[in-house]
Structure 1
Amino acid sequence: MRLNSSIKISRALMSAAVKDGWISGSLESVPKETAEAVVIGAGVVGVAVARELAAKGGREVLVVESAPTFGTGSSSRNSEVIHAGIYYPPNSLKARLCVRGRHLLYDYCRAHGIPHKQIGKLIVATRPSEVPKLSELMSRGVENGVEGLRMMDGEEAMRVEPQLYCTKALLSPVSGIIDSHSLMLSLLGEAESHGAIFSYNTSVIGGRYEGGRLQLYVCESESLRNWDRASPLKPDLILSPRIVVNSAGLGALPLAKRIHGLDDGIVPTPYFARGCYFTLSNVRSPPFQHLIYPLPEDGGLGVHVTLDLNGQVKFGPDVEWIDGVDEVSNWLNLFDYSVGGDGANRFYPEIRKYYPDLRDGSLEAGYAGIRPKLCGKQQIPSDFVVQGEKLHGVRGLVNLFGIESPGLTASMAIAEHVVPQLSHHFN
């Protein structure tokens, strides 16, 4: 990146920013810098996009991340599952990018030695009334191009997994697990090898689009953390990029709301769902060899069984809707990630529907994650939203909204989908 003190920000833009009330004083004294490409957020999707931009765009890429390192948000607080692409409506972005991303991910893991394992998944119906829904999932998965799906009666499934109870099961042999940290570390290394620069502890707090130019207001995360939230806030830097990918995860929607000149009407309402995980203790060996999933529930895929690459069994996540999240908490990921031991009481009856031999006292608090959603409680599940300039009119900006599960699986496909939308800015 190069410092360019000769950038001239119009006085109209300056005064408009001050009138917004959340930025203090004149911005004329704020340092200005140019950039060719800026990616906001260093989660797995942001890192994958940076790698794709740097390698195929052939341009300088700056990744701005509010945390001290990469992947500290949703990217490191999930089930680490490689999804097949079963659950999502045909022709949706989630369906297409999950299936494509799974192929890219397995190929990448094999080529780069990323720890992973294709262990397969059983989605189970535990009573006869659930069987039609299981059949619907199989039909949807086949339509989405998921390979190898097979329906199993309860007796066959329980022979395969003796600790399992079910009436019927859908086998997905292409599902798997992955070491997400190793994946992100490898993608980040490749991005840096192609010239990408990562700036940590750096927060984008808003911006303005005027005269065909997008300005980003940037400050040190520590300044934002110490802000009293009452007095106006002044950025430490105004960044003037040619292209911007808003991949801020939990903070993507609040950030878009702070880009003045971007139509508020096209920015969806954010919803947040907290999910806890509990680990299985006091067992000599894992009770299951496959991932075990119940049928999906409102807001998630149900409290399911996940195995990590060390054989540890974990259950989760549940769904707890969160209200009243402020912008700073979004930008700095100041969510409550604590897991109370008493929460296990909610898990036991759900797990025993398919694992009846689960013993009392065998669940220990694990970790929690937050899912950035575009739909609330009892609403129809939403698709990924990839907003380019044809939709919002802001030149060089792509917003990534609602990148929850299967975001990890789809990460490389999302990057593959986004970068061509920006290629004309490199000509």
Structure 2
Amino acid sequence: MNKTTTIIGAGVVGLAVAAELSKIHNDILLIDKNPSFGQETSSRNSEVIHAGIYYAKDSKKARFCVEGNRLLYQLCEESRIPHRRCGKVIVATDPDEEEILESIAEKARDNGAVPLERLSSQQIKALEPNVKAFAALLSPSTGIIDSHRLMRRYLSEAKKNGAQFVTQTMVSRIEKRDRGDYRIHVTYPDGDTDRFNSHWVINCAGLEADTIAASMGIDIDACGYRLHYWKGEYFSLDVPHGYIRRLVYPVPQVNHVGLGVHATIDLSDRIKLGPNAIYLPDRTLEYGVDNSVRRSFFEAAVRYLPDINIEQLNPEMAGIRPKLQKPGDSVRDFIIEEESAKGLAGVVNLIGIESPGLTACLAIAKYVRALVEG
């Protein structure tokens, strides 16, 4: 079997890439090791459409988030994907945090994000009566989305354009052939193996993107491709419907290991608190929520939701993020690299696609298309 393009990984980014490349290639194979699409990081997150506020100027995260925000809202309107432009408030719960708000606003301006509005404590109370803060920034372009419907839309478009989607297929090795294309070796759940050839290989394997890159012979440590797993737990908050109408975020943590325990709403107005950030040095895929951390979640959230009580918090879910940083490291940008310089022309590696990957997915897909076409 010969394919023009093989995309490894059917998370939201892999699906967006499949939908975009299927417009120019009609012989695409999309493969995933799981029984269906989007079963790892893409289905275990806050489902937030970010504005592009926090990321370093001129970084891929900043550029693709700002562009992706616009593209995603446009796609949602055109394709009737459930979403809501609810907005977000970033709150200073202590007077010492107020100056951090200005640095956040400056970074948002540098990134070209929709301007943020500075709010006083009285203005916050008028918008969100149950939120307490000394000051805040209002991000009007932040929203929420039904990520499953988004992923289903991408898969439907890719299939309509002729792409094949194969599940429960594990890539074991990729070797470059003398002809300039690639032989991809795969293993099925029953242990059977197979192999096929592909001209283009797009690595969107998420949590295993560095493993796939290593299987091509890339030294992932020398290239800075090694991933580190960070678990994020969530708790639901049992409060009356409409308790908050916008997302509520504290000022971010140092080095953006996470954005702190924030309060998000979903499209049914249920509230989740989280995530925290737990480093997993052994890269174990373990999705349980440790109820013993409920106290720390409560203490974080009660700073800006002062009327809640700890009994209203219940374990919800957990996700795992593929970060390029381990504890103590500085922030890393997305890696999206066409690998001709490494002698692997026709390979595109996408490594460390964590938040804001959901928001940026369509912008990333268009960038990958440009790499393929160029």
TM category (shorter chain) comes to over 0.9
Matched residue SS, 1:217: strand
Matched residue SS, 2:66: helix
Per-residue CA deviation, residues 169-223 of structure 1 (Å, 9 max, x unaligned), is: 0110010000000010111101100001000011112222253332221111453
Of the three residues 149, 155, 159, the one matched with 1:182 is 149
1:320 aligned to 2:278? yes
* Aligned counterpart, 1:276: 233
Matched residue SS, 1:409: helix
Report the alpha carbon displacement of residue 285 of structure 1 after superposing the two structures with TM.
Answer: 2.1
* Aligned counterpart, 1:251: 208
Per-residue CA deviation, residues 121-152 of structure 1 (Å, 9 max, x unaligned), is: 00111111111211111001011111131111
Q: Matches of 1:386 and 1:146 in 2, distance apart?
A: 22
Letter in 2 for 1:114: I
Of the three residues 232, 241, 245, the one matched with 1:285 is 241
Matched residue SS, 2:333: coil
Per-residue CA deviation, residues 371-401 of structure 1 (Å, 9 max, x unaligned), is: 0000111221111110112443301100001
Calculate the TM-score normalised by the size of structure 1. Answer: 0.84
Of the three residues 34, 51, 62, the one matched with 2:2 is 34
Letter in 1 for 2:271: V
1:352 aligned to 2:352? no
Query: 35-44 or 146-155: which moved more?
Result: 146-155
Of the three residues 16, 22, 34, the one matched with 1:48 is 16
| Contact in 2 for aligned 1:263/1:392 (Cα 8 Å) | no
Of the three residues 65, 82, 89, the one matched with 1:122 is 89
Of the three residues 108, 114, 123, the one matched with 1:147 is 114
Matched residue SS, 2:369: helix
1:14-413, aligned counterparts within 5 Å? Answer: 33-55=1-23, 57-211=24-178, 212-223=180-191, 236-260=193-217, 262-264=218-220, 265-281=222-238, 283-298=239-254, 299-325=257-283, 335-413=285-363
Matched residue SS, 1:398: strand
* Aligned counterpart, 1:26: none
Report the alpha carbon displacement of residue 267 of structure 1 after superposing the two structures with TM.
Answer: 4.7
Q: Matches of 2:281 and 2:141 in 1, distance apart?
A: 36
Matched residue SS, 2:42: helix
| Contact in 1 for aligned 2:262/2:274 (Cα 8 Å) | yes
Report the alpha carbon displacement of residue 263 of structure 1 after superposing the two structures with TM.
Answer: 4.3
Q: Matches of 2:342 and 2:313 in 1, distance apart?
A: 47
- Matched positions, count: 370
Q: Matches of 2:372 and 2:171 in 1, distance apart?
A: 20
Where does structure 2 lack aligned partners over 5 or more consecutive residues? none
Where does structure 1 lack aligned partners over 5 or more consecutive residues? 1-32, 224-234, 330-334
Instruction: Please tell me whether Structure 1 or Structure 2 has the larger radius of gyration of its CA atoms.
Output: 1
Q: Matches of 2:252 and 2:131 in 1, distance apart?
A: 18
Letter in 2 for 1:204: V
Per-residue CA deviation, residues 36-86 of structure 1 (Å, 9 max, x unaligned), is: 10000000000000000111x133110010000000010000000000000
Letter in 2 for 1:185: R
| Contact in 2 for aligned 1:205/1:217 (Cα 8 Å) | yes
Letter in 2 for 1:273: W
| Contact in 2 for aligned 1:63/1:196 (Cα 8 Å) | yes
1:414 aligned to 2:371? no
Letter in 2 for 1:216: I
Matched residue SS, 2:311: coil
Paired-residue identity, %: 39
| Contact in 1 for aligned 2:5/2:25 (Cα 8 Å) | no
